[in-house]
């Protein structure tokens, strides 16, 4: 195993692992975590509420045992546009033939099929294309009205009951939230999930609608899977708390050669805006059925790490594949290898986080300079909302980031963020107490080296979100070690990455909400 529970990771890029039939038991979830999963995804396109509740409870039990905050992301299904049924179950269409789609629910045949989505007919125009079954069959619209579309078949193929329909290049007049999504959302918020991923985002108003309902109870991640969303990319990034590059769906509605271009563009936009970004879908796809990935897949993961993405995601590989633990272990190995390449930091730093004229951004930018001059071993951030830690993380400093927050929900959300080792700790009332607590936490979590400095970042007055205005350089000494409850001898013989379990009752026990 790459790590044991309670010990910090030796990498910065996080792993988001999807749970499913292959990874539902507490034992497998524990193995996934031990081998590198930092945050877990509950995919509400599949599974019952009982399934998701059981997985949620297993994660929270693991969290309590490990005394480490673990993030949970609920992925909403979003609208699913599908054909109706066929009298024969399926039909083979020939290129060049005419084919009609309409609102008549009568089962289809070789000449027509039901498409019971009036919003599609309200949006399409002659010349638009419809993609059936992930683009296996393409239809070009010749004429259309409020309840029908006459099309010509572009390529031969088979259509069958309930196959999905994509409408590329068209903004559909429907909400990203279905009635099912709203029920799933309420269920997930009652459970206590940390992130909500919104599917079918077309415009910033979709994100605003969800954030209004969530009302701060979780962070909101916009899934970019519709090409139409790219036209409003900056506005969507501004409204969202994080972004997911859903490459599988993008690849259905766009030529394959454009997906890498958009991935780079989306990651860059998020990096510049200081928003967490996840690269998802088909990263180690062959490991659904094989114990090792292809070399191309390993290179695909590497690209996201070189670009400085906050996290990479496993979907079916960990949810329903034959090798879920091996997939996580392989992802961990690839990330660790790439981050050891000096070129990785050079390429990652080609993108600079946009800075505002604020004390927060000035202090976070100064951390880089301090780390270049002094042998800083870690940056310790105090945060109540997570904003200070996010600002520091998206400077991509050379130093590891130890984030201390009294808010357990915030500590879980930060588990997704690049380079952050999140700890739930009590609030402080003075600068002296803050420094003492930072030294204590650094020692217990393996970030402290005797006589080498820590950088401590916080805001005063304490507990006020968005007030980052203080940076303190601290040299832990034998006195500091005593404050931390760790002997100087222990510190002197401790590897920087070895870590300490949170045994000290001073720190808030996980599960004590």
Active site residues: 41, 82, 223, 281
Within a 10 A sphere around the Cβ of 465, how many other Cβ atoms? 13
CA separation, residue 425 to residues 14, 63, 247, 278, 411 (Å): 22, 15, 37, 27, 9
- Kindly give the pairing relationship between strand 277-280 and strand 14-19: unpaired
Closest to 37 (Cα-Cα) out of 416, 442, 352: 416
Sign (positive/negative) of CA torsion 174, 176, 178, 182? negative
State the Cα–Cα distance between residues 109 and 93, nearest whole angstrom.
10
Alpha helix stretches (DSSP H) within 175-232 = 179-191, 204-214, 227-230
Residues shown for the chain: 513
Contact 226, 249 (CB under 8 A): yes
Query: Taking CA 95 as the corner, what is the angle to CA 89 and CA 100, rounded to the nearest 5 degrees?
Result: 55
d(CA 454, CA 476): 8
* Alpha helical stretches, state H, 67-139: 118-123
Contacts of 193 (CB under 8 A, 6+ apart): 42, 56, 72, 73, 74, 218
Six-digit token pair at 228?
Answer: 């139409």
Work out the number of other CB atoms within 10 angstroms of the CB of residue 125.
Answer: 10
Instruction: Give the number of C-alpha atoms closer than 13 A to the C-alpha of residue 314, restricted to the C-beta side.
Output: 36
Contact of 348 with 18, CB cutoff 8 Å: no
d(CA 244, CA 207): 13
Instruction: Find, among 199, 203, 175, the residue nearest to 119 by Cα.
Output: 175
The strand ranges marked E within 155-267 are: 157-160, 165-166, 195-198, 219-224, 242-246
Burial 488-507 (b: 16+ CB within 10 A, else e): beebeebeeeebbebeeeeb
Cβ atoms within 10 Å, residue 153: 19
Contacts of 373 (CB under 8 A, 6+ apart): none
Tell how strand 90-93 and strand 157-160 pair up. antiparallel
DSSP-assigned beta bridge partners for residue 329: none
Q: Which helix (H) or strand (E) holds 472?
A: strand 468-474
CB-based contacts of 40, cutoff 8 Å, min separation 6: 16, 17, 18, 19, 29, 32, 55, 59, 70, 71, 72, 73
Q: Which residue has the tokens 């006195």?
A: 479
């Amino acid at each position: 195993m790459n790590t044991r529970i309670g010990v910090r990771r030796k990498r910065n890029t996080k792993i988001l692992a999807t749970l499913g039939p292959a990874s539902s038991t507490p034992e497998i979830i524990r193995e996934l975590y031990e081998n590198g999963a930092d945050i877990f995804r509950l995919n509400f396109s599949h599974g019952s509420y009982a399934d998701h509740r059981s997985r949620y409870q297993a994660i929270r039990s693991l969290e309590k045992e490990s005394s480490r905050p673990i993030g949970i992301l609920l992925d909403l299904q979003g609208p699913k546009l599908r054909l109706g049924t066929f009298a024969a179950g399926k039909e083979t269409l020939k290129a060049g033939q005419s084919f009609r789609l309409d609102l008549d629910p009568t089962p289809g045949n070789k000449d027509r099929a039901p498409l019971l989505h009036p919003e599609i007919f309200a949006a399409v125009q002659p010349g638009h294309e419809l993609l059936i079954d992930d683009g296996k069959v393409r239809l070009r619209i010749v004429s259309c009205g409020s309840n029908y579309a006459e099309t010509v078949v572009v390529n031969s193929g088979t259509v069958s009951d309930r196959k999905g329909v994509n409408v590329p290049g068209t903004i559909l007049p429907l909400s990203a939230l279905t009635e099912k999504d709203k029920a799933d959302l309420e269920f997930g918020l009652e459970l206590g999930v940390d992130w909500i991923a919104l599917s079918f985002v077309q415009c910033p108003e979709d994100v605003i609608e969800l954030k209004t309902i969530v009302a701060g109870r979780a962070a909101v991640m916009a899934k970019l899977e519709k090409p139409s969303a790219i036209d409003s990319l900056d506005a969507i990034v501004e409204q969202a708390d994080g972004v997911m590059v859903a490459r599988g769906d993008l690849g259905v509605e766009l030529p394959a050669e454009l997906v890498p271009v958009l991935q780079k563009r989306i990651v860059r936009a998020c990096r510049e805006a200081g928003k967490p970004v996840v690269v998802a879908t088909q990263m180690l796809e062959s490991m659904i059925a094989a114990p090792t990935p292809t070399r191309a897949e390993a290179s695909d993961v590497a690209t996201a790490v070189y670009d400085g993405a906050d996290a990479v995601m496993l979907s079916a590989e960990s949810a329903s594949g034959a090798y879920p633990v091996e997939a996580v272990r392989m992802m961990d190995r690839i990330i660790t290898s790439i981050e050891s390449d000096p070129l990785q930091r050079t390429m990652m730093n080609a993108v600079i986080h946009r800075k505002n004229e604020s004390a927060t951004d000035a202090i976070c930018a100064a951390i880089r300079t301090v780390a270049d001059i002094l042998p800083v071993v870690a940056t310790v951030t105090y945060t109540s909302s997570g904003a200070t830690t996010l600002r520091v993380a998206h400077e991509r400093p050379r130093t590891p980031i130890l984030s201390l927050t009294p808010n357990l929900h915030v500590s879980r959300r930060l588990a997704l963020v690049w380079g952050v080792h999140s700890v739930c700790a009590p609030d402080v009332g003075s600068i002296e107490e803050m420094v003492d607590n930072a030294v204590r936490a650094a020692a217990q979590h393996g970030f402290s080296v005797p006589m080498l400095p820590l950088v401590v970042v916080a805001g005063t007055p304490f507990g006020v979100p968005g007030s980052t205005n203080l940076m303190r350089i601290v040299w832990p000494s034998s006195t500091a070690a005593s404050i931390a409850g760790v002997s100087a001898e222990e510190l002197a013989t401790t590897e920087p990455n070895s870590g300490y379990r949170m045994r000290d009752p001073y720190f808030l026990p996980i599960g004590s909400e």
